[in-house]
Amino acid sequence: AKNVGILAMEIYFPPTCIQQEALEAHDGASKGKYTIGLGQECMAFCTEVEDVVSMSLTAVTSLLEKYGIDWKQIGRLEVGSETVIDKSKSIKTFLMQVFEACGNTDIEGVDSTNACYGGTAALFNCVNWVESSSWDGRYGLVVCTDSAVYAEGPARPTGGAAAIAMLVGPDAPIAFESRLRGSHMSHAYDFYKPNLASEYPVVDGKLSQTCYLMALDSCYKQFSDKFEKLEGKPFSISEAAYFVFHSPYNKLVQKSFARLHYNDFLRDASSVDDATREKLVPFAALSGDESYQSRDLEKATQRVAKHSYDAKVQPSTLIPKQVGNMYTASLYAAFASLLHNKHSSLTGKRVIMFSYGSGLTATMFSFQLREGQHPFSLSNIATFPPEKFVKTMKLMEHRYGAKDFVTSKDASLLSAGTYYLTEVDHMYRRFYAKK
């Protein structure tokens, strides 16, 4: 199979959200901390009638209906999620309900979990399958679904919730450059969920920020080395039209892209312009550790990157700023934002993706964008209105790990076709309905 990649995408996020400005005031944080300091505008969250299963049921059914895909044409379904529901029972098996109803139970794949990275693992599994000798000619389907919630404190504003479904197959408008992947995986306790009675993670925010940047440097180096070997020319930021990052909050994306300029400068000072070189020379001799601690370096790189950030990164920041960190869905929601903003001018361009999951696992990889053939075209994927959902303001308590209850069934905010949770019975079995 040639040009294997993403044929179609669908995103769903809950209509319930809170403006970061209001949350700042409520939390007693200084004005501007969440909006300017973290760079976030709004944060979506699930109420008691929605969860990772209902969101993914909605994303999957609306993707297959919108593109008129026969349910029997799905041969592999992979889910990436770090939200724990039944531990040993995968989220994938919940999604089988809608396929069973159409007579298709011959579907490989289960869930992949490692913090925000599971969606990328799921996507790679599907792409590798289509490229392999075990491919049976049907489509792969990838679902990233998470509800990110934090205990009260500084991490609270960095939550979010969404599900994304992606159809994978050959001749895709979003084609993988499969030989260009750079990974970095190691052991760290920056973010984990050891307390199974709680939905909240244990998080060391400062450590996780440093882990993210270290993983970024390492992946960028691997990626650049592979590119140079394969293409026989030097790699630098200018080789890609757009960069899309996993986005725990927008400020980290700004810092990450700035950091790539420092990487280019260290790798080959002649690859950056004179003004950039002049501003970064004072930092040339820093050790790795010193470079992660240096506020001056952070500020200097952000200044030199400002102009190219607006051109190469900003178009991918819309949904992550409005919806928040969607964990596994975050990177792909950023990519969907890029398609939404730039679909008419993407053909022939290279997009670089950086996926990070705490604990830690990270990969940098790339897409080549092609116009594709109806109905799998960039312009078709781009037709979704993200603003539509981002309206209501409301906070609600979660029912985590509870059993034997029926929900209020107040689905009034949900639009037609949305799945929602109706009941969890005395044996923790979950039931859903479609509005």
Instruction: Please state the residue numbers annotated as binding site for CoA.
Output: 208, 251, 255
Of 358, 361, 366, 418, the residue at the interface with ligand ACO (CB under 6 A) is: 358
257 lies in the binding site for ligand ACO (CB under 6 A):
no
214 lies in the binding site for ligand ACO (CB under 6 A):
no
Site for ligand ACO in 1-20 (CB under 6 A): none
Q: Nearest-CA neighbor of 162 among 393, 355, 329?
A: 329
Of 54, 112, 113, 208, the residue at the interface with ligand ACO (CB under 6 A) is: 208
Q: Which is nearer to ligand ACO, 156 or 349 (CB)?
A: 156
Candidate ranges 66-74, 170-178, 204-212, 303-311; the one touching ligand ACO (CB under 6 A): 204-212
Spell 54-72 as b/e; 16+ CB within 10 A means b: bbbbbbbbbbbeebebebe
Q: Which is nearer to ligand ACO, 9 or 38 (CB)?
A: 38
354 lies in the binding site for ligand ACO (CB under 6 A):
no
Q: Which pair of structure tokens corresponds to residue 304? A: 């030199």
234 lies in the binding site for ligand ACO (CB under 6 A):
no
Question: Kindly report the CA angle at 242 between 330 and 178, in degrees rounded to 5?
Answer: 80
Question: Kindly report the CA angle at 372 between 12 and 226, in degrees rounded to 5?
Answer: 90
Contacts of 176 (CB under 8 A, 6+ apart): 4, 5, 127, 365, 366, 367
Is 82 noted as a catalytic residue in this protein? yes
Burial of 323 (0-12, 13-18, 19+ CB in 10 A): buried
Candidate ranges 150-158, 257-265, 309-317, 408-416; the one touching ligand ACO (CB under 6 A): 150-158
Choosing from 17, 199, 219, 246, which is the catalytic residue? 246
Residues of each annotated binding site:
208, 251, 255
Q: Which pair of structure tokens corresponds to residue 12? A: 């769903």
- Integer CA distances (angstroms), 268 to 68, 133, 353, in order: 49, 41, 22
Q: Which is nearer to ligand ACO, 41 or 420 (CB)?
A: 41
Of 176, 191, 223, 235, the residue at the interface with ligand ACO (CB under 6 A) is: 191
Choosing from 42, 116, 126, 211, which is the catalytic residue? 116
Q: Give the nearest distance from C-beta 19 to ligand ACO in angstroms.
A: 16
Site mask, ligand ACO, residues 30-69, x = CB under 6 A? Answer: xxxx--xxx-------------------------------
Question: Kindly report the CA angle at 37 between 31 and 39, in degrees rounded to 5?
Answer: 110
282 lies in the binding site for ligand ACO (CB under 6 A):
no
Calpha distance 219→354 (Å, rounded):
8
Candidate ranges 69-77, 176-184, 207-215, 392-400; the one touching ligand ACO (CB under 6 A): 207-215
What amino acid is encoded at 274 in this protein? D
3-state helix vs strand vs coil in the chain, percent to 5:
40, 25, 35
Calpha distance 337→253 (Å, rounded):
14
Is 246 noted as a catalytic residue in this protein? yes
The residue count for binding ligand ACO (CB under 6 A) is 22
301 lies in the binding site for ligand ACO (CB under 6 A):
no
Q: Nearest-CA neighbor of 43 among 148, 193, 199, 119?
A: 148
Calpha distance 279→284 (Å, rounded):
10
420 lies in the binding site for ligand ACO (CB under 6 A):
no
Q: Nearest-CA neighbor of 78 among 37, 27, 112, 43?
A: 112
Site for ligand ACO in 319-348 (CB under 6 A): 325
Choosing from 10, 24, 78, 82, which is the catalytic residue? 82
Of 16, 47, 158, 276, the residue at the interface with ligand ACO (CB under 6 A) is: 158
Contact 118/126 with Cβ under 8 angstroms? no
Rg of the chain over all Cα atoms, to the nearest angstrom: 21
Site for ligand ACO in 96-125 (CB under 6 A): 116
203 lies in the binding site for ligand ACO (CB under 6 A):
yes
Q: Which is nearer to ligand ACO, 57 or 360 (CB)?
A: 360
Which H or E run includes 351? strand 350-357
Candidate ranges 122-130, 203-211, 305-313, 394-402; the one touching ligand ACO (CB under 6 A): 203-211
Active site residues: 82, 116, 246
List residues near ligand ACO by CB under 6 A: 30-33, 36-38, 116, 154-155, 158, 191, 203, 205-206, 208-209, 212, 248, 251, 325, 358
